[in-house]
Copies of this chain bind each other. A is one copy, B any other.
Amino acid sequence: MTGQVVTAELLAVVVAMVDGHPCVLTLGTPPRLPAGPLLPSHRSLQAATRAWVEEQTGRRLGYLEQLYTFADLDRESVGRRISISYLGLTTSGESGIGGWAGWYDLFAWEDHRGHAAPTDPLIGRLRAWANSDADCRDERAQRVAIDFGLDGRAWQPELTLQRYELLYEAGLVAEAPDEWRRPDAELAPGGRMLGDHRRALATGIARLRAKIGYRPVVFELMPPTFTLRQLQDCVEALSGHAVHTQNFRRLVEQQALVEETGSLLETGGRPARLYRFRRQVLAERHVAGTKLPTVRAH
């Protein structure tokens, strides 16, 4: 009872902010995530992921956490392939191989900052899809309404994966199976990726959006010093919607997440104070919880 021969692959969703845009580290065209097999030399799954990312892109990872494991049939060999995906955070600073693909170039419907929801045409197609099957119409309509914040419901940023899966089932993304696929013109706006890498990315986005609400992980994406406005912009970019500025500041300061550096940064208006992350809170609260509001503004 030794089981099937399988190969294990590590898949890395590496996120950084590039010019204010949340991006994922990709290689080649169509874009694919850094990935590589588990080798005997690797000490652990996490170490293997770090090694592959470094080898393929020349970048060191800071924060790294496991996302999800899935198995699919391996086309190249007889066996099966197990993919273990990780979420990594880094700063875009050091140059390396590979490029940064913007989240919202891949998932245009996930950006709900300002400018009225770009999802309007999508919603129509989703509703049509829901109505196309009399048996599960109600259930589908409800999923659409919840996932996309319809009928007075709130838009929930961390439902990225559910929205992607809904679009997949509705045949509105390019990688959907042929029998479900809609004509290109109708597809949801967003570039595709190799294999199911876009799904892995959706999982990573969802996890990160959820996590910034209760763990101080945003700071992994920030430069050493920053203004509160820059921090807020980062949170808004990640969560995909605006937050109330004054409340944001209150929460950050209340929890003593940052400390002043003493210097100022000229920003076009009143100069802003520069802050740095209080590294100590990682020890204090690695575990204890941290709140950043993900509440809308104006």
Contacts and interface: CB of A to CB of B under 8 A. Distances in A.
Interface of A: 1-9, 36-40, 44-45, 66, 68-71, 76-77, 80, 82, 84, 139, 142-143, 146-147, 153, 156, 159, 162, 283-288
Nearest to A45: B71
A78 B112 CA distance: 51
Contacts of A284: 142, 146
Chain A facing B: main interface SS: mixed
Contact of A287 (B39, B147, B285, B288): B147
Nearest to A9: B3
Closest 7 A/B residue pairs (Cβ): A3-B37, A69-B69, A3-B7, A4-B40, A6-B8, A45-B71, A69-B84
A37 B77 contact: no
A71 B8 contact: yes
Contact of A3 (B38, B68, B143): B38
30 contacts: A1-B37, A2-B7, A2-B37, A2-B77, A3-B7, A3-B38, A3-B39, A4-B7, A4-B8, A4-B39, A5-B5, A6-B82, A8-B8, A8-B71, A8-B80, A38-B71, A45-B82, A69-B84, A82-B82, A142-B283, A142-B284, A146-B284, A146-B285, A146-B286, A146-B287, A146-B288, A147-B287, A156-B287, A156-B288, A159-B287
